[in-house]
Structure 1
Amino acid sequence: MTGKQRGSENPEQRQKRIAEVVLERGSLSAQELAQIFDVSVMTVHRDLDELERQGVVRKFRGGVTAQPSGVFESNVAYRQKAMRDQKNAVAETAARYVEAGMSIMLDDATTTAAMIPFLARQTPLRVATNYLEGMRRLSQIGGIGLMALGGDYDPLHDSFLGGTCLECIESIRVDAVFVSTSAVSGRYAFHQEDRIVAVKRRMLEVAARRYLLVDHTKLGKVALHRLVPLSDFDLVIVDAGAEDDAVAALRRDGVNVEVAPS
């Protein structure tokens, strides 16, 4: 986005554009946004308050960010843009553990969603997911039987959550589940939101084999809620950006780790 935006935009239009800029750049100051949109800093703060209320961005002293923290997960629009090459490498490696005729489950993570193009090589398959965009993409692949895990729609994750989703998951069994998470530290996987943790745990319970897909930026991070021990996974797949020491530490803890080729 170049040049100043018109200050005559209505608040809803301006807030949408502010969100687009923050999601694109990651973090900005209120002063920078005021200059970009040709409005006062006070107006920017009002807009940011509304966007924070919606869960799109997180305010900090003097600015705003779309990046995750140990307490807040980032918006799905931001996560779709982050670490794309690394996620694709991890996803392609994970897809090699899928064979024709299997039933699998994918969570609502953008890393596991990166597996979808590679699944077209492994059909026929039965795939269950609670990720709406994933449903759309899977429905367009011949040979894939799609099972939608419904519930309460959450636009920030573009997925279905809540009690109905948990009941849907409980009602089936799958050969394998592929999940991701926002933080891996010591012997555990972590996530910022307990409602997301509840869905991921239930997914792990109904699968014969369990795979964790994470890019290297998740290693050594801690989020608010402990998900499960890493030993609960049959395999943890990371990208080649992971430091050798971090991978070695996981293996010393008895975690089965595979590093996806770059």
Structure 2
Amino acid sequence: MSLTYEERKQTILAQLATQGKVQVQTLAQLFQVSTETIRRDLDRLEKEGELRKVYGGAVRVRSGMIEAPFQKRSQLQVQEKQAIAVAAAALIEDGETIMLDNGTTTLEIMRQLQHRSLITVITNSAPILTIALESFTGKIIFAGGEINTAVQAATGPGAHEILDQFKVNKAFISAGGVSFTDGITDYVLEEALISRKMMERAEEAILVADHTKFGRSTFARIAPADHISMVITDSNCPTEWIENFGRLEIETVISD
């Protein structure tokens, strides 16, 4: 029994999300249909804005290169980010030192740590520092440097030099996009470099990302996907991503 367009569509989109590209001939063999059928499928998906046709196949539509302002992003997927933050905070043991990069999900982690007096938080994020100064009972270290007002965080050599002074238990890394072809990416190069540095200075690098980040590639690479040891995401994360992380021996934690 041949698959319907909707069934083929789901497989095509899943392959695009994990591989970044699909080939007409390969899909025709997979679905046991003609190449003309596949080309019509790709035409239709392109009109739906799901992909961009190229010679011999199609590629994923790249995300915009301009990130929404921090305040606007903090209002998106709020429940998912809060649930991810609860799961992340549960992994932090008393006596540990952690790093939080500049993101709206890591900001929620800081909110979950307000009454944890026996941990140390190192961050370059001005919003996270502001939350910590309100009522955090542990130790806060700000990786200062030149403040990039557009992203509300310290970047540049000064921030890198401070981060180099520490070796921490865990680094919680946010992302603009996650792709198995392009890796973990961000919109701003300077922020991507800070996140990469935090990963290097941590015993364990943990990606915190809601389901909207998967299958998306943004401007600057933080690291390949296999450089993380754990992903914390929400229940809407596609199954194929969980399976692929498993093949890379990356633990996936699904928040409630």
State the TM-score, normalized to the length of structure 1.
Answer: 0.70
- Aligned partner of 1:210 in structure 2 is 205
8 A Cα contact 1:90 1:239, kept in partner: yes
The letter for the 2-side match of 1:86 is E
2:168 to 169, 174, 184: 174
TM-superposition CA deviations, 1:151-202 (whole Å, max 9, x none):
1111221111111111111112211111100101116211222111111111
The letter for the 1-side match of 2:68 is S
SS for the counterpart of 1:237 is: strand
- CA gap of 1:70–1:147, structure 2 versus 1, over 3 A, is same
The letter for the 2-side match of 1:185 is S
- Aligned partner of 1:99 in structure 2 is 93
Moved more, 213-222 or 163-172: 163-172
2:224 to 216, 224, 229: 229
The letter for the 1-side match of 2:92 is V
User: Structure 2 stretches of 5 or more lacking a match?
Assistant: 1-61
- Aligned partner of 2:36 in structure 1 is none
For residues 224 and 142 of structure 1, the distance between their equivalents in structure 2, rounded to whole angstroms, comes to: 34
- Aligned partner of 1:164 in structure 2 is 158
8 A Cα contact 2:179 2:225, kept in partner: no
For residues 93 and 229 of structure 1, the distance between their equivalents in structure 2, rounded to whole angstroms, comes to: 23
The letter for the 1-side match of 2:141 is M
SS for the counterpart of 2:140 is: strand
For residues 140 and 173 of structure 1, the distance between their equivalents in structure 2, rounded to whole angstroms, comes to: 26
State the TM-score, normalized to the length of structure 2.
Answer: 0.71
| Match status 1:117 vs 2:129 | no
Matches for 1:110-149 after TM superposition, within 5 Å: 110-149=104-143
SS for the counterpart of 1:139 is: helix
| Match status 1:244 vs 2:254 | no
Identity between Structure 1 and Structure 2 (%): 24
- CA gap of 1:253–1:125, structure 2 versus 1, over 3 A, is closer
8 A Cα contact 2:173 2:195, kept in partner: yes
CA RMSD, 1 decimal:
1.7
- Aligned partner of 1:34 in structure 2 is none
- Aligned partner of 2:46 in structure 1 is none
The Cα shift of 1:142 comes to 4.7
| Number of residues of Structure 1 aligned to a counterpart in Structure 2 | 194
SS for the counterpart of 1:81 is: coil
- Aligned partner of 1:72 in structure 2 is 66
The Cα shift of 1:121 comes to 4.7
8 A Cα contact 1:102 1:126, kept in partner: yes
For residues 229 and 78 of structure 1, the distance between their equivalents in structure 2, rounded to whole angstroms, comes to: 28
Moved more, 183-192 or 232-241: 183-192
8 A Cα contact 1:230 1:255, kept in partner: no
SS for the counterpart of 2:79 is: helix
The Cα shift of 1:117 comes to 2.4
User: Structure 1 stretches of 5 or more lacking a match?
Assistant: 1-67
- Aligned partner of 1:83 in structure 2 is 77
